[in-house]
Every structure is written in C-alpha cells, then in structure tokens.
Structure 1
Amino acid sequence: MKGLIVAIQFLTRLPTPHIAVRGEEFAASIRWFPAVGLIVGTCIAAGAAAGAQIDNWTGALTALLIWVGITGALHLDGLGDIADTSGAAHKDRARLLDVLADPHVGSFAVVAIAMQLLAKLILLHGLIDAGAILPIVMIPFAARTGPLVWSRWLPDLHTGLGSRFRGAVRSGDIVLWSLALALGGFLSPSLFCVPVALFLWGWWLNRTIGGISGDGHGAGIEITESMLLFAALIWEHIR
C-alpha cells in the first residue's frame, strides 16, 4: 500500500499522508501507476457527469480541467519536452539531449500541448454526448500501463527518472495489469486497442528519439489517452 501512496504523490496532486521514501521504494511505485490511473479516471468521469448536467460541452470542459488539475499537467510537460526534442532529432545526440534538458518551452511544445488539450476536449464531448462515461474512467488506467511496458522494452535515453524505473518492473507486474486490461476490455471494448497504442508510441520514440526517459513516459501517457479516447468514440458510433 505504501507503493500506491508514493505513486499517487508522484502522479497526482491529490492529498496523501506524508511518508519517507527510499530511492528503490520510489522506483517500485511504477507498479501502482495503473491503479492511480483508475483513481484519476474516476475523478474525471465524475466531473464529466456533473458538468453534463448543464450541457455536454460544460461536462467536457469540467472533465478536462480536472484531468489537468489532478495530474498537475505532469504528462503535458513531458509531451512538450518530447515535441521540442523531436525538432532536434535530425541533429547529433548531444544536441538532442541538450534540447530535452532545456527548461524553456519552444514552439513545438506549445503547439503539441495546445493540440492535445483541444483533442481531449473534443473527444470528451463526443463520449459524453454518446453517454459513454465508463471509457473515461478506464482510459487513464489503461494509459498508465504504458510505462511498465516501455521501461522493459526501450533503452534508456539518459540516466534519470526513466532509468530508475527499469529494474523495478517485474514480468509479473506486466502480466497482472495485462489481465486487468483484458477484463476491462469486456466492459469498455476500446481498451483492446491498448497494445497497438503502446507499441506505436514505443516504436516512434525509439526510432525518432532513440530511447525512453521520464518525458517519454509522460508524453506516451498523453498520446495513449488521446488515442484511446478516439478509439472509444469510434466504438460508440459503430456498435
């Protein structure tokens, strides 16, 4: 349970008890990332349902504000950093790492974050309009299985936050959360697209950037969430 609290502290701005954490305990918190996603998804869906009592656009906006607020825009920051870094991908590795480490926000980051927020707003509205609240609960959970897979699959881009997670992910963790995803797929069939989304992000990141980092994990969560929102909306229109 300590690992869950640490994961909540890291991934969200939700209040938690203050606890002392060693380095290996922080790394092991990655095993609880999907569980935190379920908490995040529940809060977002509750906001969507509440806002929709006024109208569906208000529901979508309320859900998006909760999504950004509860995560502290942590993953959006990673998305912006990866967007800027991709602009330097044609340079040498040293330049790429310099851009990744630069705390300033470039034009690629601004465009990527703006488009991501717009995409989520529109897709949330579509799901609320279709009365599909359950996928909104499940998608943040599904997206946070990504770091477990990417940590085991992709090489470290540099020594940092992302590299600390590698040794903490066990095969059993991936099997457990994969089974949970499969069960979730029977409730929200769009979740069966998760392996495709995780593979596509990992493949692009490895090909373009050359490995995984904390920013890569954050950006991957954001991109996967949007892909799954889109998949859920398609499912609602074809079923």
Structure 2
Amino acid sequence: MNGLLVALGFLTRIPVPIKVFDDAQARVRSLAWYPLVGALIGAVLCALAWALPADKPLLCAALLLVAWVALTGALHLDGLADSADAWIGGMAGTWDERRARTLEIMKDPRSGPAGVTALVLLLLLKFAALASIAPSAWASLWIAPLLARMAVTAAFIGTPYVRSGGLGTGLAEAPRVACALALLLGATACALAGWRGAIALACAVVVFVMWRRACMRRLGGITGDTAGALVELVEASVLVSLALYSGT
C-alpha cells in the first residue's frame, strides 16, 4: 500500500503521509501503481466534466484543463519544457557532445523559448481537444491520464535510465512482473472501453515508440524530464483522438 501512496503523492498534489517517502522499497514498487493513479486522475476529471455545463464547451474545457494541471502540479509540463529546450539546444556536435549538452540543459530550471513554445502549443492543443469532445464522450476522458502513466511504467521497465542519481534511479529497479501486470490491466480497461479505447491505445503506442526512438538516439535512454514529456505527449494525442472520433 505504501507503494500506491508514494505514486499518488509523487504524481498528484493529493496529500499523503510524508513518511511513506522514507521507505526505499515503497518508492521502487510505486512504478507498478502509476497506471492506477492515472485512472484515479481520470475519474476525478470525468466527475468534474459531468458536473460542468455541457452547453458551454469552451468554459468547460478551460476549467477541466486548469483542474488537470492543478491536480498534477504541472509536474510533467516542467519535464516537457526542459526536454524541448534541451533537444533544441543540444543539436550540434558529435553524439557524445549532443548527449552531454542535452543532459546539461535539462538540469537548468529556467525555461527558454523552445520550452515556453512547447508548453503553449501543448496546452492549446489540449484545450482545443477538450472543447471539441462531444458530451457523450466525456465518460471516456479517464483513458488519457491512464495511458500516459502506463507509458511511463513501460518506459522505465523497457528503456535504460541515464541520469545518475536522478529521481527515476530507483524506478529503474521496479519489479517487472508487477509492472507488466499493471500494464496488462490498463490495456484491458482500454479494450473494455470499446473502439474509443482501442483507438486511444493505438495512438499511445505510436507516440511511445516514436518518443523512445528519439530518446535512444539522442541520450541512449531516458531521464525524468523525458518521462514527463512522454506523459504530456500521450495525453495530448489521446485527447485529440477522442475529439476526432467522439461524435461518430
């Protein structure tokens, strides 16, 4: 249970007992709980969408997006901004030079033009997608945060972690069987959601494969920032798929 509390406390702003973070094994086991936390985030968003007026889609989308960012503490948006700055700033030189420069820029807490632009474009895309989803499809909103956290779980058990001493160091040692079971359950939930779930799962897989290829080519693995970027990219792609097919 401590693993779930660690995952909940790290991925959201929901308060949990601070002492659970002192449990090293709980931090390692927390990765297997990421998909469940994603589903819980989705449940909160679905409940909020249900309570908001369906005849005001722009206002509804704005409030949902604000709640989404507040609930997660903009944690993954920070990773997206850092990754965007690093990817642009670390393009020159040999592979070793590009890798070292990219990792160095990711450490900088300041956001440059690339990072700010990435944040604006992604939030705009999410807002437009949320505003375009038909009210009949609001019940499928939980799929986006679920698949995004599933992608992180898959990333850490299937891709080298290259940041020595980073926040994700312990996650790379997470139990594979528990994580694989969590991914299987998440995929099953998407399958039970019908064709919308299947399309969303396909979009998430495509984004994950492209993201992993880019990380391996530039860094030889992943960092916490690139994992945060993955969450945002998967969420955006799933929301777009729901918006495009919600009225059919």
Alignment match, 1:40? 41
% identical equivalent positions: 31
Take 2:200 and 2:100, find their aligned partners in 1: how far apart are those partners? 38
Alignment match, 1:189? 198
Match for 1:96: what amino acid?
Answer: T
Alignment match, 2:154? 149
Please say if residues 38 and 145 of structure 2, whose CA atoms lie closer than 8 Å, have aligned partners that are also in contact: yes
**RMSD between superposed Cα atoms in Å:** 1.8
- How far the C-alpha of 1:179 sits from its partner, in A, is 3.6
Deviations 1:99-157 (A, max 9, x none): 01111111111000111111110001111x35211221121011101122111222222
Match for 2:17: what amino acid?
Answer: P
Please say if residues 86 and 101 of structure 2, whose CA atoms lie closer than 8 Å, have aligned partners that are also in contact: no
Take 2:234 and 2:175, find their aligned partners in 1: how far apart are those partners? 20
Aligned counterpart in structure 2 of residue 168 of structure 1, from 171, 174, 187: 174
Take 1:189 and 1:40, find their aligned partners in 2: how far apart are those partners? 20
Deviations 1:186-210 (A, max 9, x none): 3133233132222122122222343
- How far the C-alpha of 1:185 sits from its partner, in A, is 2.3
Aligned counterpart in structure 2 of residue 216 of structure 1, from 199, 221, 226: 226
Please say if residues 35 and 153 of structure 2, whose CA atoms lie closer than 8 Å, have aligned partners that are also in contact: no
Deviations 1:25-68 (A, max 9, x none): 21221111111111111112222232334611111111100110
- How far the C-alpha of 1:8 sits from its partner, in A, is 0.7
Alignment match, 1:17? 17
Take 1:147 and 1:209, find their aligned partners in 2: how far apart are those partners? 17
Take 2:210 and 2:172, find their aligned partners in 1: how far apart are those partners? 20
Which stretch has the larger CA shift, 156-165 or 138-147? Answer: 156-165
Take 1:45 and 1:183, find their aligned partners in 2: how far apart are those partners? 16
Please say if residues 162 and 217 of structure 1, whose CA atoms lie closer than 8 Å, have aligned partners that are also in contact: no
Q: Which runs of 5+ in 2 are unaligned?
A: none
Compute the TM-score of the two structures, normalised by the length of structure 1: 0.91
Take 2:108 and 2:86, find their aligned partners in 1: how far apart are those partners? 9
Residues 180 and 158 of structure 1: CA distance in aligned 2, closer, same or farther (over 3 Å): closer
Compute the TM-score of the two structures, normalised by the length of structure 2: 0.88
Which stretch has the larger CA shift, 46-55 or 144-153? Answer: 46-55
